[in-house]
Structure 1
């Protein structure tokens, strides 16, 4: 399932003008010409590489600071409600029951109310920062983020949470839909990443600032599980790629219900 192509093209053009990602070299009726990047796409293990991970953290901070068209407010809640309605319109009654879709609107509303309290930084987020959307030049070690179909303004904590959740995935294994949460970064890894993220502009954050963002990010993993759980369900009805979308979705919802009582106490 993809967002509207026009939205993706507009995002690509704006990101390119801001000096991020591949340069846009030209457009024509059915497509566009992009700069070729002399870089390799990262692998699943690269995300936790102690030399590569800090480079990703700094690049995320740079990306979040982009000035992009559109209202600078969280888009995640509106999108999840839209996707929930779409999923319910596609799913069989059996799937609606098995995946607990009738309960999810209340969960989305609860998360929005809880996570929107207090100050939260809104930035332009990638929203799909899995290893396949990150490229690295082996010579210069420069990082490029690609594929902006889900990009929008959101709480930066949501994007960080998404990146951490993606460390449980390996889409190039024999079972690409299976998530291994033993590979989710431990608290020290998350602290290091967030410290680098916050300090990448030259100002060192306090321990309290790091700890606060670590805690908020962890709560936003719940929104992340719901978002991609809904994506998996919808994709199972509209995509023909050889990928067990429903099993992927089941794992994301399972993780939500497993983590909710721990993270929201």
Structure 2
């Protein structure tokens, strides 16, 4: 689920994140290695990830004017452009659909400017149907607004009934392979710590378990008796309770978590060597170990292949990679962590991978019923559940080395 941009100063009078304050000239970053410059074929800036609701790189998008925006959105865009003196004609907006969206519709909006100046660009996001089952759009909007004011992402430029207008940032969305690059991974670790330390409004209590139970309830409601039996949905309540008991502890640090930090939700500004985290639909307070675990688990995915639903868990980071990430994360605030602190977080992260597999497995079951995108959500869910059942025995062990909880179901089939 991820985002895009153009010269920020041109778009909205300057970004609150100085890393993105740049001149008019188009840069040459990329998402999945393509540029966000003026060349529309390479505009990889703001696209929704083929799975979940992430913005991802645009593999193919059409550079043409189309009558595809709600009237309210068009009016808001024209009103916004009317505040810019260098736009030649506010009514002559160019609408470019960004392909690859799985949940929302995302468009780059451009206006021609006076000679010698680059075009004005913004991002328009139209919310997808059926997505309210996963998150509260009003809460998501307030989160976006607050994060924007904290200089942590694209600026909010406007809102309408079924979407919003965002700043278009000149940076590239990461590719799956970027997550394994040690230098980029270090940037992500430091940015994640910064994100976790945000002081956001609202209750600062763990939301993971309520979300899991709410989603499970919806999955059961939508599923046939055969699906409930195949995926063992009737016993998932027990599994959630087991995890909540085993993974809770007073030592756990609670922070404001993104909860979906896959490659499509991270943008890299190569000139300043900085990253920005985008798309906050699932953001909430949770144990930071869970957020890191989710990031690690997402390394098994590549949503830009012929089979985007297929996961390769052999790509899960090894101990050396995980230790390097966790050490960078803990030390990014300026204090060198002790070896015990690193080991404790590493251990917590591994256990929380179980929660990530349950959550996205249930997500897949729901999506199979509410989303019409050409994506094999059911197979995706099957793989997440299989990983849960296979990892549970050795991640939840008793002191004598045996599994604390008998695994009675095995892999979903």
CA radius of gyration, larger in: 2
Match of 1:22 in 2: 154
Match of 2:207 in 1: 75
Match of 2:83 in 1: none
Deviations 1:62-111 (Å, cap 9, x if unpaired)?
Answer: 00001111111110000000011110000000000000011110010011
Q: Distance in 2 between matches of 1:33 and 1:83?
A: 29
Q: Distance in 1 between matches of 2:226 and 2:159?
A: 45
2:185 pairs with 1:53:
yes
Match of 1:135 in 2: 267
TM-score (norm: length of structure 2): 0.63
Deviations 1:13-43 (Å, cap 9, x if unpaired)?
Answer: 0111111111123334454332211100000
2:173 pairs with 1:41:
yes
TM-score (norm: length of structure 1): 0.98
Match of 1:180 in 2: 312
Deviations 1:96-128 (Å, cap 9, x if unpaired)?
Answer: 000001111001001101111232111000000
> SS of 2:164's equivalent?
strand
After TM superposition, the structure 1 stretch with the greater mean CA deviation from structure 2, 26-35 or 127-136, is 26-35
Q: Distance in 1 between matches of 2:158 and 2:282?
A: 22
Match of 2:220 in 1: 88
> SS of 1:26's equivalent?
strand
Match of 1:169 in 2: 301
> SS of 1:143's equivalent?
strand
Count of matched residue positions in the alignment of Structure 1 and Structure 2: 265
Q: Distance in 2 between matches of 1:86 and 1:168?
A: 26
2:341 pairs with 1:220:
no
Structure 1 counterpart of 2:389, from 257, 260, 264 = 257
Q: Distance in 1 between matches of 2:206 and 2:362?
A: 18
2:342 pairs with 1:231:
no
After TM superposition, the structure 1 stretch with the greater mean CA deviation from structure 2, 219-228 or 33-42, is 33-42
Higher relative contact order (CA 8 A, sep 6+): 1
Match of 2:327 in 1: 195
Q: Distance in 2 between matches of 1:31 and 1:79?
A: 23
Gaps of 5+ in 1: none
Gaps of 5+ in 2: 1-130, 398-413
Greater fraction helix = 1
2:240 pairs with 1:116:
no
Runs of 4+ in 1 over 4 A off after TM superposition: none
